[in-house]
Amino acid sequence: MMVWAGSTLLAFRMSAIQKEGSVIKRGKPEGPIRWTTLGNAPFPKPDEPCSGYLLQAGGANVLVDIGGGSLAALQHYIRLEDLHAVWISHLHADHFSDMPLLYYAFAFSEKPLRKIPVLAPVGWAQRVEAFVKSSVDHKMKSFFQVIELKDRGIAEIGDLRIQARVVEHGVPAFGLAARFGDRRLAYTGDSGPCDTLVSLGKGSRVLVAECFSREIEIPSVHLSPEDAGLTAAHAAVARLVLTHLGPGLEEDEAIERAGSAFNGAIEVAHPGMVIEV
């Protein structure tokens, strides 16, 4: 594993053979990007975790967001020893609140787990440390490579590249563009409408867009269905996947309203939904 940082580039590479868990080989990127929705609810319900997605390509397994319930859901798909990185869009509880429990998983695992990078907005490690504080100090760096996201920072896990971009959410928050060979997928995280979302989506086949706002508010820290549709249209993606629907917003209504601004395919994400790009 290697880490380096530049003015606009923050990247790490994981291609080293690890003692435990799976190995990622670099080479010619072949195969799809797979995006599995673990959960996308604003608070956890039975079988409906909060925001969490499993991003996979070329043998790399990345957990994107780690809201309540998503850590358990993740383990329906992969073992924790096969997790290579965690990427967290922002520190709201519905995207972050299982992180202290991931720490417990690493700290108390019967079988030692290898150190993995956790990439999240500034201050994430201190927040989790404050949360898990007890009679002994718990340090995130004991089990994780602590990385704070920066605008345009790029993480490389094998041949999977993930670029972070700052989005509009009233707190430090990021969207991502994932690239594996010529395959691309973008995810808004939580954000109000902004040009950055359009540039994140440009060149991607699929845009996974939050759709939390039932009402159209200006300014807003979330997308309404119309905002999501317009963003997808401006980014010229083929497919729009609406996720993280807010209270009172029915799926049919969200699809119809997003479709007023976007001609491509539109779906709503559910736990267990798998997209291949």
Task: Calculate ∠ Cα 172-118-187, nearest 5°.
Answer: 55
Q: Does 222 bind Zn ion (CB under 5 A)?
A: no
Binding map of Zn ion across residues 154-193, x = CB under 5 A, - = no contact: ------------------------------------x---
Question: Are 265 and 251 contacting, i.e. CB atoms less than 8 angstroms apart?
Answer: no
Whole-number minimum distance, CB 169 to Zn ion, in Å? 6
Question: Which one of 19-27, 93-101, 115-123, 130-138 is the stretch in contact with Zn ion (CB under 5 A)?
Answer: 93-101
Q: Residue 36 or residue 51: which is nearer to Zn ion going by CB?
A: 51
Whole-number minimum distance, CB 190 to Zn ion, in Å? 4
Beta bridge partners of 271: none
Buried b (16+ CB within 10 A) or exposed e, 98-108: bbbbbbebbee
Whole-number minimum distance, CB 82 to Zn ion, in Å? 26
Question: Are 140 and 123 contacting, i.e. CB atoms less than 8 angstroms apart?
Answer: no
- Taking the C-alpha atoms of residue 114 and residue 264, their distance in angstroms, rounded to an integer, is 42
Q: Does 92 bind Zn ion (CB under 5 A)?
A: yes
Number of residues that bind Zn ion (CB under 5 A): 3
Cα Rg for the chain, rounded, in angstroms?
A: 18
Q: Does 94 bind Zn ion (CB under 5 A)?
A: yes
Whole-number minimum distance, CB 50 to Zn ion, in Å? 8
Whole-number minimum distance, CB 3 to Zn ion, in Å? 28
Whole-number minimum distance, CB 40 to Zn ion, in Å? 9
Task: Name residues contacting Zn ion, limited to 117-146 (CB under 5 A).
Answer: none
- Sheet of 174-180, strand order: 2-5, 10-14, 154-157, 160-166, 174-180, 183-187, 206-210, 239-243, 265-268
- Taking the C-alpha atoms of residue 211 and residue 249, their distance in angstroms, rounded to an integer, is 9
Q: Residue 156 or residue 190: which is nearer to Zn ion going by CB?
A: 190
Q: Which stretches of the chain bind Zn ion, using CB under 5 A?
A: 92, 94, 190
